[in-house]
Amino acid sequence: MSILVTGARGAVARGLASLLAASGIAHRLGSREPGGPGTVRCDLSDPATFPEALAGARSVFLYAEAAGIDAFVEEAATAGVEHVVLLSSSSVLAPDAAENPLAAAHLAVEEALLASALHTTVLRPGAFASNALGWAGSLKAGRPVRLPYPQAHTDPVHEADLAEAAFAVLADPALAGRAHTLTGPESLSFAAQLSVLGRVLGRPVPFETVTPEQWRAEVDGRIPGPYADALLAYWAASDGAPTEPTDAVERLTGHPARTFATWTEDHAAAFRADRA
């Protein structure tokens, strides 16, 4: 089995590649900016890079990039790819997914794959625990984290669990060909996540509530306006409303999903002021 792992610089792809290597499964890494042995150029928005990247691949771990998906599907079929595992998003399950900038690209890629002859498995994570890294700058500078909806809930999932889930569906044909919604084991508000960070770091992690307008102005230039608006709408809808975690990580990997506390312990250095 030869596997193309796209998005090679991403945390999930890196974790998956390590698992494949440890199991002796042949694979190659695809990246927009390849570097190192075993890596090929694969820009998911540039169809000219697809033939070389897909040559010899029988399975693909695919990040959701809508710009070139029709050409990717066509080239994958030509290359003889038998199975695609897509890292999508649970946002596609929302009623307005087609119009929501947070979901639309994922939905477009799902629809293109599912309409094709390619055997497709869809992984739909909820909130990535790594989204908390967006607070690192404030914490390292000793500033409170500014939140428009501190009681908004998410179900943060560890990237290692996503990598293990992808490995499981690539290695076991019995798990393939379905959609799996992946979450962490608990619903936590942003305030609760900061409390967990504080316990792990051994110091208080304060936050400050700001208005949606203030937050939007602060991220202007870093987060495109439509995405910022979609995030605010999502947080408003989940303000004080716990999510419903799934057991998909355990079903696929054989172990319970890692907690946010575990993720924080694994990434504590990213939040410390003395980090080099």
What SS3 class is residue 40? strand
Phi then psi dihedrals of residue 154, to 5 deg? -135, 175
121 and 134 assigned to the same domain: no
Do 144 and 226 belong together in one domain?
A: yes
| Residues 267, 142 within the same domain | yes
Angle, helices 225-237 vs 212-219, to 10°: value is 150
CA separation for the pair 270, 132 (Å, rounded): 10
Q: Are residues 64 and 139 in the same domain?
A: no
Q: Let me know whether 148 and 98 are in one domain.
A: no
Distance between CA atoms of residues 204 and 264, nearest Å: 14
CATH number reported for the structural domain that contains residue 191 in this entry? 3.40.50.720
Give me the sheet containing 179-182, strands edge to edge: 39-41, 27-31, 3-5, 59-63, 83-87, 119-125, 179-182
pLDDT in 10s for each residue of the chain, 276 residues: 599 999 999 999 999 999 999 999 999 999 998 777 779 999 999 999 999 999 999 999 999 999 999 999 999 999 999 999 999 999 999 999 999 999 999 999 999 999 999 999 999 999 999 999 999 999 999 999 999 999 999 999 999 999 999 999 999 989 999 999 999 999 999 999 999 999 999 999 999 999 999 999 999 999 999 999 999 999 999 999 999 999 999 999 999 999 999 999 999 999 987 644
| Cα–Cα distance list, 189 to 52, 151, 154, 180, 236 (Å) | 44, 5, 6, 23, 12
Say what the pTM is.
0.95
111 in a structural domain:
yes
Shared domain for 51 and 115, answered yes or no, is yes
Domain identity same for 87 and 134? no
User: 59 is in which domain, residue-wise?
Assistant: 3-125
